[in-house]
A and B are shown apart, each in its own frame.
Chain A
């Protein structure tokens, strides 16, 4: 299955500084192949209460998925909006953005770069826009890209603004504390769904801080040392209480759909991504005899609809512990 959004030859075309190496720009290539293997072993786990059938190799594969999700990057070109007042011409700024982070958390260098050509008094709150649409900093970067630009050529071209902050569209982000508060609120809400908040409430403040610091400083091991506790569930259960997920589509006023959804059906079967969509957003699924109108995308790939949502929740959630799923039009090429 071809991973959408990245073609090796396109990446090589980007020769401006800094050059992007093909493997740096990849999304999760090949995950779907792994997943068939892990899925069949996944179905075996917990259903009969028998753990002995789980091969050690499975854990290695799954951990690789966690790493791939964490280290996914999007090559981006930041250009200053032409109406901003500058003292001299502003060069565009290139950056590899982490899919799992937030715009205002990783763009200090972008702000510094453009500040150099502007007067101090004109540098107010920075905000970003893509093809006329203000970009919501409180959405993870990977979600924004998948939703708005996944089927366009790289690099992702983002316009930087300092004037005319769109009060009606964007939340203010006056400091990193606001990003931390937002991130932790999401983590807390996800745990309310998964564990009735028991796991997150049992953690100490320093554990909460470690999650945030791990994200902020791009420290996979530091983050997962704590996050793995949020991915556990009682041995007598087959999964979480409810799956934390949100479904996004550009065409609606409503920012996302979020509903209560159990990972296991009443008959004990693991619910799949297809089951989730059927219940929560049936319009996203292609009818039997119909043409495929939409892509259902997470982290730049289309997981197979047969994938158990419990597995997706454990392995392809964002650091905020939510599965952010984009429904985008099927590209016509």
Chain B
């Protein structure tokens, strides 16, 4: 794995390696139908990974509400019951509660790490506000995010599309990736930087990776062992 190791043992991800990791990631995504695509920018060598999915506001979203309090569970349960009783009402309910999430994985040349951009809107096109986005962030992550201005979710301009997106600030990425990379080096195992990174930051904003992504990398490792 071609890591750019500086004298301070920082684990930077070089841009071409980022693209390679994305290519491997997308190949697996295609195999399991996980919906990730590579998008290129006209006239430039740059690009990013993109995935869109739809979620119900009050349920059917594994990570966001998995560990909800009992209260929320009961609400969700009731919602489903109503749906069974009156299909028309449930249709109206469903449309207003469906949120379209769009996730983009870009490369930051300044920090030499990947960055997660995302946006969400209701089906009528109305974008979610930052407050509404926060509602979707699981409690256990909220405290940590609110600690420092550098770790929080902010609205920023997408550097390639020029539209407002939400971002998880990348300046601390090196900190949490270093132990992961150090371990993999110690054990002489290959890892896909993007897969490991996304499995850490994704769940914070409702994006989960099926476990088969990890299986793919370990298969590659066992082939070379």
Contact = CB atoms under 8 A, between A and B. Distances in A.
A294 to B, nearest CB: 16
Contact of B163 (A169, A178, A185, A197): A169
A203 to B, nearest CB: 13
Given A185-B169, A258-B110, A171 B162 contact: no
Contact of B111 (A168, A182, A192): A192
B160 A171 contact: no
Nearest to B46: A254
Given A184-B149, A193-B110, A197-B171, A254 B162 contact: yes
Interface residues of A, number: 28
Contact of A171 (B10, B110, B155, B171): B155
Contacts of B10: 196
B77 interface: no
Nearest to B155: A171
Given A171-B164, A188-B150, A197-B171, A255 B157 contact: yes
Contacts, number: 59
A153 interface: no
A184 B171 CA distance: 12
A48 interface: no
Interface in B1-29: 6, 8, 10
A181 B149 CA distance: 7
A289 interface: no
B156 to A, nearest CB: 7
A170 interface: yes
A193 B12 CA distance: 13
Contacts of A254: 41, 44, 159-162
B171 A172 contact: no
From DSSP, what is the main secondary structure of chain B's interface residues?
loop
A138 B157 CA distance: 9
A236 interface: no
B109 interface: yes
Nearest to A168: B163
Interface string B145-187: 0000110001111111111100001010000000000000000
B123 to A, nearest CB: 15
Contacts of B41: 254
B35 interface: no
B204 to A, nearest CB: 18
Interface in A216-256: 244, 253-256
B62 interface: no
B127 interface: yes
A189 interface: yes
Contact of A188 (B127, B157, B164, B171): B171
A253 to B, nearest CB: 6
A122 B161 CA distance: 31
A73 B130 CA distance: 34
Given A181-B149, A181-B154, A254-B44, A189 B111 contact: yes
A172 B171 CA distance: 22
Contacts of A244: 110
A259 B149 contact: no
B174 to A, nearest CB: 9
A253 B42 CA distance: 10
A253 B162 contact: yes
Nearest to B157: A255
* Most central of B110, B111, B155 by chain A CB within 10 Å: B110
Given A182-B154, A196-B8, 10 more contacts: A167-B164, A171-B164, A172-B129, A172-B130, A196-B10, A253-B161, A254-B159, A255-B157, A256-B159, A260-B109
16 contacts: A169-B164, A171-B155, A172-B155, A182-B156, A185-B150, A188-B150, A192-B110, A196-B6, A196-B8, A196-B10, A244-B110, A254-B159, A254-B162, A255-B158, A259-B109, A260-B109
Interface of B: 6, 8, 10, 41, 44, 109-111, 127, 129-130, 149-150, 154-164, 169, 171
Closest 8 CB pairs of A and B: A255-B162, A189-B110, A192-B110, A171-B155, A171-B164, A260-B109, A167-B127, A193-B110
